[in-house]
Structure 1
Amino acid sequence: MSITLTESQEKAFYIISNFFKTDNVILLTGSAGTGKTTLTRYISDHFSEKGLELCAIAPTHKAKHVIETILNKGKFKTIKAFTVASILGKMKEHSYIGTKHYSDPSAKKFNAFTLFILDEVSMVSDQDLKYIINYVNKSNKKLLIIGDSNQIPCPSSKYSDEGEYIRKANSFIFDSEIPNVNLTEIVRQKADSPIIKLACFVRDNLEEEITFSHESGCKHFDYEYKVSHDNIYETFKNLKNLKSTKIICYTNQAVREHNTEVRRILGFSDEKFNKKEILMGYANIGFPELIIENGRDYEIEDVKYVNNKTILEYSGLSGHTVKLRSDRKVVSVFFIDPNKNYEILSELVERADKVNSKHSTSKDYAKYCELKNQILFIEDLYNYEDNIYSETEFKELYPLLFTKIYDIFDSDQKKILNNKLTEKINTDFPNLIENRLDDNKVIGDSEMFSDKFKIIDKDMYYAYALTAHKSQGSTYDNVFSDENDFKKIQNKFNYKLNKMEIRTREKNQLRYVDYTRTKDKLYLFEG
């Protein structure tokens, strides 16, 4: 193998390779820049050469693509990679349009492999991770788990009760009894890299409120990369590789605002789609072969506005036919014009409302998908009291509807919680809670009341800005960090558990993910 390991990586490899001679599951950890990726490739090559059938697993499509690319670089016989949901055979099941509810896991796909490399474990749910570990142990196979406890946990992670307050818990794996090999030596970039120093500073102060206007924060960072809010878009425009440049923030609202401003300064704002624009997949489209993949970037090669598109029994449809190129292939998709096409869009809304109605069936959902999967949208849409809203509009008008169901409902005791949040919802939206609980749909882990009013999940969106959650597992040449948006993460009272939720660590874990996405330059901006 052509990879040269550092002394600490060689020691870790020796421990892991010898461990697998007698045992099954081991954890490889390390913060940003410690060489986990290089060591993982070395381990993969080593066991592939020994004839083991191995595969890679990651929590998201983007993270899967990254680890797949790393492990297969220069290979003729490639290593397969799966998302956690895919290898577990989990399919999106009938629920509300906006609710992500999946089928129970299955071990069928596991049978073809002997060694599994599970990357970005912090984002894997405890339930799925325990299933994978139990399968590996029972079948006497091998599992290498790779992670960084400084990164953000799975969105559905539970809270840890710490006496007077609570906070989001990290994956159980980091505190488990599973053997752990921890890399500490910085190898990915120069030891004096301001980006690595900043990441290490955040890592070492996860529990502290961090600002970059005082000496303790600024001393680790080069002022050259601090830009004012007024200059970020001009700076963005002047960078060489815009395809690998991102603004990373916390909220979807900030993503929308930054994408709008970047498109304006790049001269793209007059048209909805333009040649050389970059779009990102927000859903998986196509089965069994994906046409659009969630988390992947696509460049627009060509775009035409047409008035003669035919879909099923609907003809003369208006919209944009867009030719998209990814690093793999060129595909053509159709974005329908939401300001026209009344007949087909009315039918789509009617089918969505049927899915979202009480006691709807899987057949209703299949009928909705039959039509929806033919046309693409670049924004989430909601239908409330016969008015259609974008997500931004709907959230501004009805923020209380974006409350999670489990914030007011105790699933163990099957009862509605008596707290101020419940009272507020009952006052503003009478019968909303009871109607949801009377429905036969399984409550999703992250389900919100707004889910039952959602009629469209966007398929793609402009790719110049994205949230830190969506960026995890990716790397870019240049990253802009929206510090103002991260400051919105504040402590809040948790009505369900009747305690203050401390969010300092969560905020810093998001920053840590943000800062460690870049391979070259990191720009911080405030104001």
Structure 2
Amino acid sequence: MYLENIQSRDKLTIQSELVKSAVLFLSKDGAGFNGVDTEFGNSLAQILRKRRQLSPAQEYQAWKMCRKYWRQLRKADPEIILPKKWINRYRLEGWQVWNDSKGSGPYTLDLIGDGELSCTCEAYSNGNECGHITLAIAQGLIDSVDDINDESIESTQPIKQVSAPSEPTETNYEMLPGIFANQGQLAALSNLKKFALGESIMYLLTGFSGSGKTTLVQAWLRDLRESGYQGRVVFTAPTNKAANVLQRMVNRWQLDIECLTCAKLLGLKPVIDFETGRQRFKKSYNDESVIQDYDLVVVDETSMVNEELWRYLAEEANMFTRLLFMGDPAQLPPVNEAISQSFLEINESSHLSEVMRYRGSIAAMADDIRQNLGRRGEPFFETQYNEDGSEGLFVLTQESWNDNIIKAFQSEKYLEDPDYCRVLAYTNKRVASINKMVRAAIRGPKAPRFVDGERLIATEHYSVANPFGGSTTVLNTSSEMEVNGTSIGMEGRWKVWFLDITRFDDGISKLIPVLHEDCQKEFERTQKELKQQAQNGERQLWKQWHENRSRFAYVDYAYSHTIHKAQGSTFTNVFVDVTDILSNKRRNLVQMPGEDKKRWVYERNQLLYVAMTRPSHRLFIFE
């Protein structure tokens, strides 16, 4: 191991060069790494051999490894040549270090497990790296490997973990201006700080609606930044809608953090399984995974992470890219799964059980449902609202419920804000019925299927072929848009609507083809015949079936959608069809995070809980 004598390099550059040399030496023929560190160290060495720069978090972990494997490095008898300014500045005698240029010292170096060095200087005691340790390792402070043992030299100051921000210990700890942590948040914040700089690669933070998960994460990230943490951070969520909510949130926090969907982060493309009709993911040819560009990944809405997506995420977790999963276990599980695997597979976790943000009748009702997910009977709903009626729970007759829906979607506020109101139901059939009812009332029963100003939602992922190979996503599932113009034309043999749309999430305009209603029955008949032939052995016909289907974008009116698709969204006013929800009779035997044993949970109660926690102001229901 050799460090060039370059006069202009400062302490951090010297440390960087030392780290690179140490890791490359240790990775050769298994010279130093052992056990769980082997894969970690060799991965780091591979990055260095490709002459790529290490991120700050990667370099920090490599520096810890350099100190951990001091014995192996000393056995190699490395030659280190330091710049003259370092030789003149520091004086080394055994375990003592003086800074002669400042007239300070001596500082005592100490061993704290596996040969890791600490220092009694003020910089180290404040949780920062110090040049004394860097110099000691580079200079070969210990004359022989036998001098390193488990007996530590007595230090004059308490030892603190390198680069770890100070941990709050009082219950009046102010996480953010005017926001004080409760005991659960205090413990979780301490654990998250250890996770960011420790050895674990995945961590789980759970909490119910209103327990302060996002506030806690905001405080944690601010503390990390203030303590000098330079790692790249990204927020991600399973759906495009949830990712957009995250982006608005971090913008309010004034934190420079990207927000991506899990598919975008992992370079995945959603596809439809021909035989089951379910959406799955596969690696995209033209969208590379970018998750390894980040040191810390925060996965929100964890309850929506299905088993397949969980596997993709978990495979990417390592010492360079740590994953924090965050979610509400009382919310809906992934489709056809009892509970997200992310709630079951992660060993280290914190759970926030104390609700901090509930207010008013909606929150009280949601809390009651959440605490009784195993209840067989129907909850009791009662109208309750504040003095001016701007917030509250309103129980209506179906006629009054319908009238209020129409008024909400005809209001100026809805034209200004697409999230002003939404109707939620359990089944696709009921959603279609509501959309038809609202659309007819607003546009008239004889209006064309699409008109300018129409607000739509994508019911499936839609992409177009890329001339360089692969495909380019135009619409993600649940992407919302507004129609700017319409025309009718042909797509192959099929009559289509060409819609000029603007996506709400990024303001980009696109032209999409939607199968015309005049061709709907013929198209469905053709697809049914192809599917039957493919299932009967002519499997090559699946390709034609898929090509036919992928020609078109699939959209619906955005007045109503299922509760599953609403998860992760917030609307000012929400209309919920409770009768439709109660038609769900499914129950699952699950073990919730923080509980000792499994219990029966009725999915209709989870549906109600998600629906009740979507409005920010008013909830309208009919029974």
- Fold similarity call, TM over 0.5: yes
Shift of 1:299: 2.1
Contact conserved, 1:94 with 1:365, CA < 8 A, in 2? no
| 1:238 lines up with 2:407 in the alignment | yes
Give the deviation of 1:292 after TM superposition: 1.8
1:488 alignment partner, SS class: coil
Q: CA deviation at 1:212?
A: 4.5
SS at match of 2:475: coil
2:279 is paired with a residue of what secondary structure?
coil
CA positional deviation for 1:461: 0.9
2:558 alignment counterpart? 463
Among 271, 276, 301, the alignment partner of 2:453 is 276
- Tell me whether 1:336 sits opposite 2:509 in the alignment: no
The gaps in structure 1 that reach 5 residues or longer are: 158-168, 377-458, 495-501
Distance in 2 of aligned mates of 1:173 and 1:144: 10
**Residue 603 of structure 2 aligns with which residue?**
506
Per the TM alignment, residue 236 of structure 1 is displaced from its structure 2 partner at its CA by: 1.5
Instruction: Tell me the equivalent position of 2:243.
Output: 64
- Structure 2 counterpart of 1:254: 430
Question: 1:117, CA displacement in angstroms?
Answer: 0.8
Indicate how the Cα distance of structure 1 residues 326 and 513 shifts in structure 2: closer, same or farther if over 3 A, else same.
same
Q: Secondary structure at the match of 2:443?
A: coil
Write the distance in 1 (CA, Å) between the matches of 2:274 and 2:514: 25
State the Cα deviation string for residues 268-304 of structure 1 (Å, max 9, x = none).
Answer: 4322113333211112222554322211221223334
CA shift for structure 1 position 13: 2.7
Q: Which residue of 1 aligns with 2:292?
A: 111
Aligned residues: 413
Give RMSD over aligned pairs: 3.8
SS in 1 for 2:433: helix
Partner of 1:36: 213
1:178-209 Cα deviation digits (max 9, x unpaired): 23222344444xx4411111111101111113
Task: Give the deviation of 1:51 after TM superposition.
Answer: 2.1
Distance 1:97 1:133 in 2: 25
Q: Relative to 1, partners in 2 of residues 1:280 and 1:176: Cα closer, same or farther, differing over 3 Å?
A: same
* Residue 145 (structure 1) aligns with: 325
Partner of 2:611, secondary structure, is helix
C-alpha change, 1:176 and 1:268, in structure 2 (3 Å) is same
Structure 1 pair 493/478, CA: closer, same or farther in 2 (3 Å)?
A: closer
Contact 2:272 2:278 in 1 (8 A): no
**Which AA in structure 1 matches 2:428?**
N
- Superposition deviation, residue 113 in structure 1: 1.9
* Counterpart residue type for residue 454 of structure 2: E
Q: Cα 1:369–1:76, aligned 2, differ >3 Å: closer, same or farther?
A: farther
Name the structure 1 match of 2:193: 17
Alpha-carbon distance in structure 2 between the residues aligned to 1:474 and 1:255: 17
User: What is the alpha-carbon distance in structure 2 between the residues aligned to residue 133 and residue 318 of structure 1?
Assistant: 42
Q: Give the CA deviation at 1:44.
A: 4.4
Q: Note if contact 2:265-2:289 (Cα within 8 Å) is conserved in structure 1.
A: no
Q: Retained in 1: the 8 A contact 2:585–2:603?
A: no
Q: Aligned to 2:499, which of 292, 298, 321? A: 321
Cα deviation, residue 343, structure 1: 9.5
Structure 2 CA distance for aligned equivalents of residues 327 and 90 of structure 1: 19
Find out whether 1:518 has 2:615 as its counterpart: yes
Q: Could you list the per-position Cα deviations for residues 238-288 of structure 1 after superposition, in whole angstroms to 9, with x for gaps in the alignment?
A: 234432211111111111111111112223432211333321111222255
- Distance in structure 1 (CA, Å) of the matches to 2:533 and 2:517: 20
1:234 Cα deviation from its structure 2 partner: 1.3
Confirm or deny: 8 A CA contact 2:206 2:326 kept in the other structure.
yes
| Of 152, 155, 163, the match for 2:335 | 155
Indicate conservation of the 8 Å contact 1:57/1:64, yes or no. yes
1:26 aligns with 2:206: no
Name the residue aligned to 1:6: 180
Instruction: Tell me the equivalent position of 1:451.
Output: none
> 1:488 deviation in Å?
0.7
Q: Does 1:209 align with 2:209?
A: no
Work out the CA distance in 2 between the residues paired with 1:45 and 1:28: 17
Match for 2:236: what amino acid? I
2:434 is aligned with 1:265: no
Q: Secondary structure at the match of 1:300?
A: strand
Q: TM-score, normalised by structure 1?
A: 0.67
CA distance in 2, matches of 1:303, 1:469: 30
2:485 — aligned with what? 302
- Find 1:123's aligned residue among 297, 304, 310: 304
Larger radius of gyration: 2
1:208-243 C-alpha deviation (Å, 9 max, x unpaired): 134344xxx549888861111111121112234432
Aligned residue type for 1:30: G
**Separation in 2 of the partners of 1:493 and 1:124?**
17
Work out the CA distance in 2 between the residues paired with 1:104 and 1:18.
33
Aligned counterpart for 2:569 among listed residues 474, 477, 480: 474
Q: Compare relative contact order (CA 8 Å, sep 6+) and give the higher one, 1 or 2.
A: 1
In 2, Cα distance between equivalents of 1:346 and 1:118: 42
- Aligned positions of 1:30-109 closer than 5 A: 30-44=207-221, 47=224, 50-73=229-252, 78-83=257-262, 87=266, 89=268, 92=271, 95-96=274-275, 98-103=277-282, 109=290
C-alpha contact (below 8 Å) 1:209/1:504 kept by paired residues: no
Q: 1:288-325 CA deviation, whole Å, 9 max, x = no partner?
A: 54322211221223334x3xx3535x59x453534344
Query: Residues 476-514 of structure 1, C-alpha deviation per residue, up to 9 Å, x if partnerless?
Result: 1111111111121226999xxxxxxx9862110110001
Distance 1:460 1:375 in 2: 10
Residues 321/15 of structure 1: CA separation in 2 closer, same or farther (3 Å cut): closer
Equivalent pair of 2:325/2:342 in contact (CA under 8 Å): no
1:146 Cα deviation after fit: 0.4
For the residue of structure 1 that corresponds to 2:474, the secondary structure is coil
What SS does structure 2 have at the residue aligned with 1:20?
A: helix
SS class of match (1:170) = coil
CA distance in 2, matches of 1:493, 1:17: 35
- The SS at the match of 2:552 is coil
- Letter of the 1:149 partner, please give it: P
TM-score when normalising by structure 2: 0.58
Distance 1:88 1:318 in 2: 31
Distance 2:531 2:523 in 1: 12
Q: CA separation of 1:77/1:209 partners in 2, compared to 1, >3 Å: closer, same or farther?
A: same
SS of corresponding position for 1:12: helix
Structure 1 residues 85 and 152, CA gap change in structure 2 (3 angstroms): farther
State how far apart, in whole Å, the 2-side matches of 1:177 and 1:373 are: 37
> 2:267–2:290: 8 Å Cα contact kept in structure 1?
yes
Query: Which residue in the other structure is 1:285 paired with?
Result: 462
Equivalents in 2 of 1:339, 1:292: separation in Å?
24
Q: Is the Cα contact below 8 Å between 1:95 and 1:355 reproduced in 2? A: no
Contact 1:62 1:473 in 2 (8 A): yes
